[in-house]
Amino acid sequence: MDNEFDTRSDLMIFGALGDLARRKLFPALYQLERSGLLARESRVLALARKNIDTEEARSLLATHLQDRIADAELDSEALARLVGRVEYQRIDFSEPSHYEGLNGWRDGSSNALIVYMATPPSLYGVIARNLRDSACCTRKTRVVVEKPIGHDLETSRIINDQLADVYREDQIFRIDHYLGKETVQNLIALRFANNFFASQWDQNHISHVEITVAESVGIEGRWGYFDKAGQIRDMIQNHLLQLLCLIAMDPPADLSADSIRDEKVKVLKALKPITPDLMETHLVRGQYAAGSSLGQSVPGYLDEEGADRNSTTETFVALKVEIENWRWAGVPFYIRTGKRLPEKLSQIIIHFKPAPHYIFDPDQKHLANNKLIIRLQPDEGMTLQILTKDQGLDKGMRLRRGPLELTFSEAFGADRTPDAYERLLWEVMKGSQYLFVRRDEVEHAWRWVDRLITTWSDHDPYPKRYASGTWGPVASIAMITRDGRSWYEDA
């Protein structure tokens, strides 16, 4: 079905020698090439500040991909084909005359033009303007930008306005790479293709929801960026709120980009603000101290390279989020995310309410709710915990909790899960926006997050310390225990 789309593209990558392009974009293009998805006519123009020529750029790229791609996935012919598509041009992003030659590269090509801004967001406006002034963009151009879109609502508006000056909203593809993850897309299938779940998905049947996005790594040398952002802007404003929206939204009328995004926006609008009176019970901020990560001693956040020892930036956030609408009234969403936690793990746990009348052994009453565990990464799949009778004559009607298990790699025999960027680049080539974030989503998310940041800055700017390799400050355990619940790993 994907082949029905015309995916012939001229892809301009601004910032082509940067971290994002090297770590994500070129490996994703390589995988698309390897799987035969890159149209024969598609071409890549790599643009960066470094003064090298196309041959040098190709050789850098080839070496980099050889180091990065797993041996089992290395196909030298595919690699040569991809590298052969790439041309390089040195550019000073803010110099209008450097854009003049870009039309020459296009040379009347009828391929869709995709402009990928793999640069800091502060450059989006200048690149867009220079492209417009050099008459390089057409009404069919698609422009791809990365998070963070701004630092708060006001700065996100400035960036969005700069883009809107040049492009219509249906030309702008804002990436939240979580939306490109296979398992995140599966949330839509799970919820709306299975009537069984659809009928259970509300406050009558669900007691609470847990969303955890944990990382074992620290900030990986990104002090300059991270210390200004913190975990709230780096992860909650985008990835976590997107996951929450996909779990909480109402069924869209169809799978079109706007139907899905309209429903997500309704959730964002219904988020209850975390006001000063709720800080104690609804918010925990943490910052990692020294400890051990995957068996190695690691320094604390304040001892990372380049650190400001007085920084109050958080590397961990746990929140109790409430959604003020009919479907979710009274159902807390406990969400948490942090760096230097014990493992890399993203999962969503739906805790269903127990049956209205319990007739089994009172000692086992704590078992009496079903849980749906959705593993986004690693070990992608899902487990539905159900209750059955324990086997054996001597067991009477003792209950036992057992899993209905679906592990995607076993069930579907896939040898690899495509990286999010493969999917996202492929969708841009198809011209489909359903995995990209619309302007109003970004702005509603910022509105809620800005308010939260103001609340803590005014009332309690100091994050709580937690040892690296633990699940965050004990206060995050207290937050959920206060409600008579526990995080999944403590249950």
The answer to whether 459 is a known ligand-binding residue is no
The answer to whether 408 is a known ligand-binding residue is no
What's the closest the beta carbon of residue 270 comes to ligand BG6, in angstroms? 25
Distance, CA of 165 to chain centre = 27
- Can you tell me the distance from the alpha carbon of 327 to that of 119, in angstroms, rounded to the nearest whole number? 40
What's the closest the beta carbon of residue 71 comes to ligand BG6, in angstroms? 22
Contacts (Cβ under 8 Å, ≥6 apart) of 351: 206, 207, 208, 209, 210, 369, 371, 485
Between 14 and 421, CB nearer to ligand BG6: 421
Burial class (CB in 10 A: 0-12, 13-18, 19+), 288: buried
The answer to whether 181 is a known ligand-binding residue is yes
Contacts (Cβ under 8 Å, ≥6 apart) of 470: 291, 341, 342
Between 136 and 244, CB nearer to ligand BG6: 244
Between 122 and 256, CB nearer to ligand BG6: 122
What's the closest the beta carbon of residue 146 comes to ligand BG6, in angstroms? 8
The answer to whether 352 is a known ligand-binding residue is no
Contacts (Cβ under 8 Å, ≥6 apart) of 400: 387, 388, 389, 390, 391
- Which 227-266 residues touch ligand BG6, going by CB under 6 A? 234
The answer to whether 365 is a known ligand-binding residue is no
Q: Are 149 and 121 in contact (CB under 8 A)?
A: yes
- Set 208, 239, 282, 351: catalytic member: 239
Q: Are 102 and 419 in contact (CB under 8 A)?
A: no
By the rule CB under 6 A, 380 interacts with ligand BG6:
no
The answer to whether 234 is a known ligand-binding residue is yes
Reference 417, options 82, 73, 136; nearest CA is 73
What's the closest the beta carbon of residue 452 comes to ligand BG6, in angstroms? 18
Residue 366 annotated in active site: no
What's the closest the beta carbon of residue 184 comes to ligand BG6, in angstroms? 10
Q: Are 441 and 271 in contact (CB under 8 A)?
A: no
By the rule CB under 6 A, 215 interacts with ligand BG6:
yes
- Can you tell me the distance from the alpha carbon of 250 to that of 260, in angstroms, rounded to the nearest whole number? 9
Q: Which residue's C-beta sits nearest to ligand BG6?
A: 234
Q: Are 396 and 360 in contact (CB under 8 A)?
A: no
Between 148 and 473, CB nearer to ligand BG6: 148
Q: What are phi and psi of 157, to 5 degrees?
A: -65, -40
The answer to whether 147 is a known ligand-binding residue is yes
What's the closest the beta carbon of residue 237 comes to ligand BG6, in angstroms? 10
- Which 452-491 residues touch ligand BG6, going by CB under 6 A? none
Residue 227 belongs to what H/E stretch? Answer: helix 223-231
Q: If you search the block for the tokens 């790993």, which residue do you land on? A: 489
Between 216 and 369, CB nearer to ligand BG6: 216
SS3 content of the chain, % helix, strand, coil (to 5): 45, 20, 35
By the rule CB under 6 A, 304 interacts with ligand BG6:
no
Between 219 and 452, CB nearer to ligand BG6: 219
Strand partners, 13: 46, 116
Which residues are at the interface with ligand BG6 (CB under 6 A)? Answer: 215, 234
> Catalytic site residues?
239
Binding residues for substrate: 177, 181, 215, 234, 339, 344
Binding residues: 49, 92-93, 147, 177, 181, 215, 234, 339, 344
Binding residues for NADP(+): 49, 92-93, 147
